[in-house]
Structure 1
């Protein structure tokens, strides 16, 4: 049960991070946003790591750290470019393919394979999340896949979905070798170091951008921090594929907020159907 609660915390944090990121990418470039996000999480976790003490690391940990950080660097830049240049309703549904990719990557990389009931739950969450994201699209049900042909942003997001199916499993290795907090800090600090030369080479006046929107960028970083930590703790208790499936259902939370607080009732039947499908998927994972 604790693992499920932590996974839900990941979904909430991820939804808020995406909302803040999309809004801030209208005013700041993707390199500055990515740099700021990893700067915040590194600064927040550094004193905690110092208090807990720097842990001894194994060769396996170092392999996992460099592999995950390098892949994650590509992921975060591709993700930011995708949501900056295209509508979320077209690109984000492709990320729901990550749990499907993990049905292959998890058994190969870490020897984890969901039960039949768990697989059913994953598929229901993918379908429900897809419906939630598609209800606002004017291009039809297959819009994300059609856009693979015409849209570079959609191709970026498909790559992101596949790479996340790899890094999520590597995270499991890193957490097993040390601890959730130390792994999260080590990985994001290394990504931050990668981003230092990139942001100053590719971004225009990054310091001015950060100064002008420091509070908003701080919010993105804080939501990223809670998302990462809850995910790392969650994978200690339940299968990685389950955690990522629940994480990808963050769109459900955004839709519920819009219905309840913003009174957005368009396509309400489709939204309620999608919410019901996702809820059924979550229930299957919970009892599997």
Structure 2
């Protein structure tokens, strides 16, 4: 079941990314980042009432929430600055380092220790996602970008932060439940980004009804993906779940080709096949 949930997370992530790309045509990055978190809350709130919740929230839970929420706020800000500073083709491939970092952070933080074939599977998913994102600047483009541009360095920091935050998610789920934790951490992140947005812009303008509908779709697929991810993390190993989540790049290639008419598909499909081989190794 965790495999199915992880694949559904990847699909939701890819659709959300496509919607965000569409939304960026009429909104600035900060509004999209805020909507990404805030517009998911109405969809998460009902589920938080129908799932078991502790009679009281311990200080440990509040500490985990503050840590997880704070890490994700920082990651979101760095993510925005990264894609503002450099091309997407240079920055996004660095996110494929997250499963690699998780191989070291998960055993230390939550005791998730992959099997030897799992290590190889995670590596293949990393390699495939790297190839998918690096076709335009050349295979070594993202690595070279670390030394020459600010964006890739910031995105590598995001990958490292998310490799810690994913384990914090599992810790929070153990204290409560997947649905309740998903709502709490998302509300914490949205609150922090709301304060930041008001500080930067003094007000939030959502524009037309069409734009609000688009932002609502972003929130819907974010909520579905988050619920699926938390459920998968609850029953599966964190490195495996996040590695399969990176298959969103495969779905993104399909969306990019069909919707945005993106090119360079031959090398990207090669990367997708390598990622799929990694999934088969992890689930064998």
- TM-score normalised over the length of structure 2: 0.91
- TM-score normalised over the length of structure 1: 0.90
* Aligned 8 A contact 1:210 1:217 in 2: no
- Provide the rounded CA distance (Å) in 2 between the counterparts of 1:23 and 1:170: 31
Alignment of 1:250-265 (within 5 A): 250-258=248-256
Structure 1 residue 87: Cα displacement = 2.9
* Aligned 8 A contact 2:53 2:176 in 1: no
Structure 1 residue 228: Cα displacement = 0.9
- Provide the rounded CA distance (Å) in 2 between the counterparts of 1:77 and 1:210: 26
Across the aligned residues of Structure 1 and Structure 2, the Cα RMSD in angstroms comes to 2.2
Residue in 2 aligned with 1:37?
36
- Provide the rounded CA distance (Å) in 1 between the counterparts of 2:48 and 2:262: 43
> Mean alpha-carbon deviation: is it higher for 160-169 or for 213-222?
213-222
* Aligned 8 A contact 1:34 1:80 in 2: yes
Residue in 2 aligned with 1:278?
275
Residue in 2 aligned with 1:194?
192
> Mean alpha-carbon deviation: is it higher for 50-59 or for 229-238?
50-59
Q: Could you report, residue by residue, the CA deviation over 1:229-288 in whole angstroms, capped at 9, with x for unpaired residues? A: 1110001221000011011121111223455788867452x334322211110001112x
* Aligned 8 A contact 1:32 1:203 in 2: no
User: Are 2:6 and 1:7 aligned?
Assistant: yes
Structure 1 residue 51: Cα displacement = 4.2
Structure 1 residue 211: Cα displacement = 6.3
Structure 1, unmatched stretches of 5+, are none
Structure 1 residue 212: Cα displacement = 7.0
Residue in 1 aligned with 2:216?
218
- Provide the rounded CA distance (Å) in 2 between the counterparts of 1:53 and 1:207: 36
Alignment of 1:56-71 (within 5 A): 56-71=56-71
- Provide the rounded CA distance (Å) in 2 between the counterparts of 1:228 and 1:177: 17
* Aligned 8 A contact 1:45 1:185 in 2: yes
Residue 265 to residue 70, structure 1, CA distance change in 2 (3 Å):
closer
Residue in 2 aligned with 1:156?
154
